[in-house]
Structure 1
Amino acid sequence: MFRRGVRRDGADVPRDGEFTFLSEAEAARLRAFVREAFAERGIEVTVEPGRVTTDSGWRFGLTNLAAVCHNDSRGPRRWRTLVDQHVDRVVRSLDGPQALRALPRERLLAQLFPRFIPGGDPALLKAFGYGPRSVPGLLEVLALDLPETVEMLTADSVAELGEPTALRDRALQNLRAVRADRHKVVRDKEGSHVDVLMGGSYFIASLALILDEVVHRYTKDASAPDGVLVALPHRHQLAFHVVRGGDAGPSLHTMARFATVGFEQSPGALSPSVFWWREGEFTRVATDQAWPPGP
């Protein structure tokens, strides 16, 4: 859980400037696969270090794909298949109808969830900065959980669908049905005690928005008068520690390391920080790396 991904080319091989968990050779190979996959589907793209751009101006980031390939235990021999699957999903999203216009309103509401995304990019802030500032450095957006993709709603799309506060209330109601695939309690000899939730859902980290309910669900703690330490390294994980007595210090150290590793090497990276939650408010308290805090 805390192990960094294996560097198959050796520790002394030059690392890629954009994806440091890959060597320069691995990253070049991945970008070549991406260019070939789009070309085979009749789409010419310009490949940049962290994204591709089509002739029509569509831009697609490569960070998640790079992390998926890196974390696949079958190694680079599997990468072309993973790239093909990813590009197929991207192409289908371009060709398919817009969900807001294609689906009945009640079905849209039933598939609406809150989702966190990093908040440091001005372009993202412009398009998705409509939500409440719940967790420092992250944007809280509304998203549709569709069969093959998760479609984040821009401010214009939200206005088209309904009143933002009512939509968020419905999204939180739907979030209460999300369950982690795995719950693990991590302890070490220093006395730390951290609960970790993991799952395939894109909204595991979003459970931080109902943290009091989540804590009670997984630990049976009825209250947390001194607050809860929480980490959201990426969209598929949530770690927390109910603050009680003298184990907060060791647990904070463990969570900071955990958050950094997950943030650096997992798809859907969110934050390398640890936050203190109390009475619904989040405060950043620690990070294991230098990181721009964003809005």
Structure 2
Amino acid sequence: MATPDAELPMLTVAQAAQLRTLAAPHMQQDHEYSLRSLAQQCRHTPQERWPELVAAHFANLADASAGGEDAGELLRAAYPRLLPAEALTPDLAGAMSYARVVADGLVFGYALDGATSVRVLTDQDVARAGLQELGRAAYANLTQLPVEHAEVPLDGGALLHSVYGDSPFVASKALFLSELARQLTGEQLPDAGALVVVPTRHLLAYHPIADGTVVDAVNGLAAYAFGAYEDGPGSLSPRLYWWHQGSLTSLTVIDDDARTFSVQPPPKLLGAMKSLVGLDSAGRLATRAAAEPPDAAELSRTAGESLTCLMGDPAGLRDAFRSALALAHARCATDPDAARIDTWDPWAVAVQLGAALFTGADPQECRLGEDHAWQIPATPADPPADARAWLDAFYVCVVCRQRERLDRLCQVPLEVLRQDESVDEYVLHWIDTLQTYWAQRPMDDVAQKLITTMETSAPDTATSTPKDFVNRIDYQPVALFHRLITRDHDAFAEALGEALAHHGAYWGDSAAPRAQVALGPLAMASLAYDYGFPVELKQPCLPTYLLNRERIEVIPG
């Protein structure tokens, strides 16, 4: 195999030497030229046609450098232009003092789209048009630039949005990615932003950071960017970027000496990724995949298989709890009041497994129907660093009125749960509030911890969890608890109605198991009902016979 050239690896050493020979007569001593784009065109062109290709390339450059357009011409045909950092040669940088670095490897400037070529605008051009006027005109021109859009599914479920076209300004749309996404899909980008690549001037691809598939998207986009950058033409950047609140941050670290690439998300993004993976894996997010109706038989089979595995290996306890809880929620889709025994069974199993996960348990029988029982051996007390699973376990034990299990859950050291790196601080403060309350410590302590929970769940403080999830799902039990401890019946009723409305708004018409029951509000309503609050029993996503205790039976263990 022929050796690739060190500077133009898309060509062999011999081919690169020929290209440099052809280009030499066109070079000007006072200018630096990059041959990368030309080399990419030559790679796909028979070598006998290289002379005319090289001549046409430099003729276009000469035509583009003529300049002299008036302000009107500049405003009509100017566009924002992303340039690779290495293209900003000393002589070009000296003529473009207005240009700025927007991210590692990328420089922002303006360019004029001519009939046969594109010319980067200099300070003199900008002065003729006016910087602010030029910026507004270039933005308007870019907004109206037509592009093609395709959705590209990756292994693992990640979805990439590929945006491409003949224009050399397509990649510039990454600067205004939020507007582009809204134009293409009708949807806003998530609070966490998006992963984006701009491998060539004619192409960008992005992935909204909305669920656990972000991990697969990181790998997929990084490989995609590198391949497209190498192929060209019009190579721009091989890096993977994070678009967030209008800014681009490079996630790619390049070791020039070792010629290696690695992806290193900053702490803020890494925290959001961990949170999304945790939420998504437990079925807590209203994703497009979650909207599909679950297979009830498959959920039952999965729960049964998890219990079978537990009979021989307690390591699967967390997955078994998750499966039982999903089945408990899903059964309420066809039995919203939880009136039937086959609905009660998975709720009881979720109680057994959730408590055992954090506090250990003696041998116990778990039952999913009269003919399906599993003898689960003793489970050691080895609580995992999973704060949200603890909350689920607490909530189901409250709903199913399991006071002794709740006592044990509230003795789980908070230091263990604090090791969970996938949650924001407010989740841990909320657990601290519940543990303090259940232990019947002074109400002043409970109130102070509740205030801290509220303060740390504010949008500018909770940075890892999607804001919509914080507001519509996580915060609602907190608001209800506030009304509960003040014993304000009317305010509690109003807050419960709001919580259920938020639950419905978050899940929409999703058929996901978690959409069927508002677990946190159900737990708070169960406490209120037991305290004598006049709780309305017929409300959506609040199973009546769990709320009023009519379906509650003795749970072994």
Aligned-partner residue type, residue 156 of structure 1: Q
- The answer to whether structure 1 residue 152 and structure 2 residue 120 are counterparts is yes
Preserved CA contact (<8 Å) 1:33 1:80: yes
Secondary structure, counterpart of 2:81 in structure 1: strand
Is the 1:128–1:139 contact (alpha carbons within 8 Å) kept by the matching residues of 2?
no
C-alpha contact (below 8 Å) 2:161/2:206 kept by paired residues: yes
Return 265-274 or 130-139, whichever deviates more. Answer: 130-139
In structure 2, the partner of 1:82 is 53
Equivalent-residue separation in structure 2 for 1:92 and 1:171 (angstroms): 21
Going from structure 1 to structure 2, the CA distance change for 1:65 and 1:184 (only over 3 Å counts) comes to same
Displacement of 1:155: 2.4
Residue aligned with 1:246, SS: coil
Q: Are the counterparts in 1 of residues 109 and 120 from structure 2 also a CA contact under 8 Å?
A: yes
SS in 2 for 1:15: coil
How far has the Cα of 1:195 moved from its partner?
Answer: 1.0
Aligned length: 255
C-alpha deviation, 1:257, in angstroms: 0.9
Aligned-partner residue type, residue 183 of structure 2: R
Which one has a bigger Cα radius of gyration? 2
Instruction: Identify the range of structure 1 (131-140 vs 204-213) with the bigger mean alpha-carbon deviation.
Output: 131-140
* Code of the aligned partner of 1:146: G
1:33 aligns with 2:6: no
Q: Which amino acid aligns with 2:37?
A: N
Post-superposition shift, 1:151? 1.1
Gaps of at least 5 residues in structure 1 are 1-11, 36-44, 46-51
SS for the counterpart of 1:113 is strand
Pairing of 1:1-295 with structure 2 (within 5 A): 12-35=1-24, 45=25, 53-54=27-28, 57-70=30-43, 72=44, 74-93=45-64, 97-100=66-69, 104-120=70-86, 121=88, 123=90, 124-162=92-130, 164-180=131-147, 182-286=148-252, 290=260
Give, in whole Å, the separation in 2 of the partners of 1:262 and 1:129.
30
SS at match of 2:33: strand
After superposition, the Cα gap between the structure-2 partners of 1:127 and 1:107, relative to the gap in structure 1 and judged at 3 Å, is: closer
- C-alpha contact 2:81 2:111 (8 A) present in aligned 1: yes
Letter aligned with residue 202 of structure 1: P
Q: TM-score, normalised by structure 1?
A: 0.78
Flag as ranges the 4+ runs of structure 1 deviating above 6 A.
none
- Higher RCO (Cα < 8 Å, 6 or more apart): 1
Contact map agreement 2:64 2:114 (CA 8 A) in 1: no
Hey, what's the Cα distance between the residues in 2 that align with 1:13 and 1:85?
28
Post-superposition offset of 1:241: 0.6
Q: Distance in 2 between matches of 1:261 and 1:278?
A: 24
C-alpha separation between the residues in 2 aligned to 1:106 and 1:246?
Answer: 49
Supply the distance in 2 between the matched residues of 1:214 and 1:174 (Cα, whole angstroms).
Answer: 13
Report if aligned partners of 2:64, 2:119 keep a CA contact under 8 Å in 1: no
User: Residue 133 of structure 1 contacts residue 140 of structure 1 at CA under 8 Å; is this kept in 2?
Assistant: yes
Distance 1:259 1:127, change over 3 A: farther
Query: For the Cα contact (< 8 Å) 1:272–1:287, is it kept in 2?
Result: no
Letter in 2 for 1:63: R
Distance 1:171 1:32, change over 3 A: same
Are the structure 2 counterparts of residues 189 and 61 from structure 1 closer, same or farther at C-alpha, using a change threshold of 3 Å?
A: closer
- Please state which structure has a larger fraction of its residues in helix: 2
C-alpha distance in 2, partners of 1:158/1:118?
A: 20
Aligned AA for 2:203?
Q
Shift of 1:237: 0.7
Q: Report the alpha carbon displacement of residue 153 of structure 1 after superposing the two structures with TM.
A: 1.2
Code of the residue aligned with 1:277 in structure 2: it is W
Structure 2 letter corresponding to 1:16: D
Q: Displacement of 1:122 after TM fit?
A: 5.6
Distance 1:222 1:128, change over 3 A: same
Shift of residue 119, structure 1, vs aligned partner? 2.2
Task: Kindly indicate which of the two structures has a greater share of residues assigned to strand.
Answer: 1
- Aligned counterparts of 2:95 and 2:234: Cα–Cα separation in 1: 18
- Is 1:274–1:287's contact at 8 Å kept on the other side of the alignment? no
**For 2:209 and 2:36, how far apart are their aligned partners in 1?**
34
Do the aligned partners of 2:71 and 2:128 also contact (CA within 8 Å) in 1? no
**Alignment check: 8 A CA contact 1:128 1:153 kept:** yes
Q: In structure 2, the residue corresponding to 1:60 is in which secondary structure?
A: coil
Secondary structure in 2 matching 1:196: strand
Q: Report percent identity of matched pairs.
A: 29
More moved, 122-131 vs 260-269? 122-131
| Aligned-residue offset at 1:126 | 3.5
Q: How large is the Cα RMSD of the aligned pairs? A: 2.3
2:136 is paired with a residue of what secondary structure?
Answer: helix
Stretches of structure 2 that go unaligned for 5 or more consecutive residues are 262-557
The answer as to whether partners of 1:256 and 1:287 remain within 8 angstroms in 2 is no
Structure 1 stretch 265-274 or stretch 202-211: which is displaced more?
A: 265-274
Query: Once the two structures are superposed, what CA deviation does each residue of 1:177-222 show, in whole Å capped at 9, x if it has no partner?
Result: 1121x32222222322111111110100100122111111222223
| CA apart distance, 1:58 | 4.2
Using the alignment, how far apart are the partners of 2:89 and 2:58 within structure 1? 26
Q: Provide the rounded CA distance (Å) in 2 between the counterparts of 1:269 and 1:126.
A: 23
Q: Deviations over 1:232-259 (max 9, x none)?
A: 1121111111111111110111111111
| Alpha-carbon distance in 2 for matches of 1:190, 1:76 | 42
Shift in Å, 1:290: 4.2
1:185 is paired with a residue whose SS is: strand
Paired amino acid for 1:65: L
| Letter paired with 2:115 | P
Q: Secondary structure at the match of 1:156?
A: helix
TM-score by length of 2: 0.43
Task: Report the Cα offset of residue 64 of structure 1.
Answer: 1.1
